Amino acid sequence: MLQNDLSAMTLEKGTILIVDDNELNCEILSIIFSVHPIIIASNGKEALDVIRKKKGELDAVLLDYLMPQMDGLTFLEQVKEEKLLSRTPIFLITSEEDDTLAAKAFKLGVVDFIKRPLSAFIVQKRVESIIELYQTRAILEKLLEKETKKVRDFGRGLIKTIGAAIEDRVKDSRVHSHNVRALSRILLTKSEVGKNLTHQEISEVLEAISLQDIGKLSQDSILHNDSDHPNKEQQEEISERSKKAIMLLTDLQKVSHFKPFQFARDLAEFQKDNMEGHYFSEKIGHQEIPLWVQGVAFSSMIDSIIANSGKSGKEGFSEALKRVEEGEFGEFNSHLLKAVKENLDELQAVYG
């Protein structure tokens, strides 16, 4: 499908900006590239004004090195500073053979050199081939973005459907997921808990939270949230559900290629080891536990403690945190506890 979309698209002739104070040079280049609309600027300052107004319309910039008011390198420095032409090729026109100049120009974003005296055929072929390369890349990026959006939409549809099924099967799942997501968002965005995640990945982790009880779909009866102190039989049940969740989420990830399913699988992978507080320490055996996983797991556990205690609001949160700090639920990562203390007011505010 992607190949068909690409072949259906044509490469249009966009505008070429010629930056040169020599009228004859401008005329020659205008003739060579006569199939393109041409804009001429006599110096770097004029060219910057043109680019700021028309940067999305330019196919290429042909830049003379020696000009009054603002020379080629100064122009390139300004363009790079303002990030004006990251998707437009710039060609530097010069008669000089200077490796130092070439190194500076390439570092500032020049893609190729046009040497004087000009050879019309060679100049045209080199410039047009690079313009075509840039245009093809831009088309591919748009098509890939379109395909990526389809994947995201498909993945989010699956999450919505599965989330609804979980809510039907697990009592209070909607409220629990909402609270866990709110607590996790604070820890991931406002502390070192989310330091190794990008903004996009944090959003995907928050989406994954809706799937935290996916293993319970294998049960026949309506379930409640797990006890904060499961007995041996309940521990075995949680472990077995987690294994089923890992298998299901692995399959969903393979089918959809949607990152939240991978994050949900990571959470389930560690949940099967959620016995006697080991889930919240820095390692299980020799295996490192990502801090973001600990943050989401902590959020889930705190909300479960509050729900099982029968207390609500800030009082319920304060009591749950006190029990954690007193060691009732085992060992916790010191970095995680530090993040909780630093954001205590906001975390409490989730409960009113």
The pLDDT tens digits for 295-347 are: 988 898 888 888 888 787 888 899 988 888 887 877 778 888 899 999 999 99
Mean pLDDT of 71-87: 90
Does residue 148 belong to any structural domain of this protein?
A: no
Mean pLDDT of 46-73: 89
Q: Please report the pLDDT score of residue 167 as a whole number.
A: 66
Number of domains in the chain: 2
Mean pLDDT of 128-155: 81
Q: Which domain holds residue 301?
A: 170-349
The values of phi and psi at residue 203, to 5°, are -60, -40
Does residue 160 belong to any structural domain of this protein?
A: no
Q: Please report the pLDDT score of residue 238 as a whole number.
A: 64
Shared domain for 118 and 12, answered yes or no, is: yes
Does residue 102 belong to any structural domain of this protein?
A: yes
Does residue 12 belong to any structural domain of this protein?
A: yes
Q: Mark which of 91, 123, 142 sits at the end of a domain.
A: 142
Shared domain for 187 and 93, answered yes or no, is: no
Q: Please report the pLDDT score of residue 276 as a whole number.
A: 39
Does residue 147 belong to any structural domain of this protein?
A: no
Does residue 213 belong to any structural domain of this protein?
A: yes
Shared domain for 113 and 15, answered yes or no, is: yes
Shared domain for 91 and 138, answered yes or no, is: yes
Shared domain for 98 and 189, answered yes or no, is: no
Is the pLDDT reported for residue 10 higher than 60?
no
Q: Please report the pLDDT score of residue 253 as a whole number.
A: 72
Shared domain for 123 and 195, answered yes or no, is: no
Contact of 201 with 254, CB cutoff 8 Å: no
Shared domain for 245 and 326, answered yes or no, is: yes
Q: Please report the pLDDT score of residue 278 as a whole number.
A: 46
13: closest CA among 51, 60, 63, 64?
Answer: 60
Shared domain for 317 and 188, answered yes or no, is: yes
Is the pLDDT reported for residue 34 higher than 60?
yes
Shared domain for 135 and 201, answered yes or no, is: no
Shared domain for 271 and 222, answered yes or no, is: yes
- Helices (H), ranges, 93-231: 99-107, 120-169, 173-189, 199-208
CA-to-CA separations, 304 to 177, 224, 228, 311, 312, in angstroms, rounded:
11, 10, 6, 11, 11
Share of residues in the chain with pLDDT > 90 (%) = 33
- CATH code of the domain in which 26 resides: 3.40.50.2300
Coil, helix or strand at residue 350? coil
Does residue 271 belong to any structural domain of this protein?
A: yes
Does residue 28 belong to any structural domain of this protein?
A: yes
> pLDDT by residue (tens digit) across 88-111?
999 999 888 888 888 999 999 999
Among 172-181, 236-245, 270-279, name the most confident range: 172-181
- CATH code of the domain in which 203 resides: 1.10.3210.10
Shared domain for 196 and 120, answered yes or no, is: no
> pLDDT by residue (tens digit) across 264-296?
888 877 765 554 344 444 444 445 678 898 898
Q: Please report the pLDDT score of residue 55 as a whole number.
A: 78
Coil, helix or strand at residue 63? strand
Q: Please report the pLDDT score of residue 1 as a whole number.
A: 47
Shared domain for 324 and 234, answered yes or no, is: yes
Mean pLDDT taken over the chain: 81
CA-to-CA separations, 179 to 87, 183, 277, in angstroms, rounded:
43, 6, 21
239: closest CA among 220, 208, 218, 222?
Answer: 218
Q: Please report the pLDDT score of residue 341 as a whole number.
A: 92
Is the pLDDT reported for residue 6 higher than 50?
no
Among 69-78, 163-172, 228-237, 322-331, name the most confident range: 69-78
The C-alpha atoms of residue 259 and residue 207 are separated, in whole angstroms, by: 10
- Element spanning 94, H or E: strand 90-94
Residue identified by tokens 């298998």 is 247
List of long-range contacts for 240-246, beta carbons under 8 Å, 24+ apart = 240/215, 241/215, 241/216, 242/215, 242/268, 242/269, 242/271, 242/272, 242/274, 243/215, 243/272, 244/215, 244/218, 245/211, 245/214, 245/215, 245/271, 246/272
Mean pLDDT of 79-94: 91
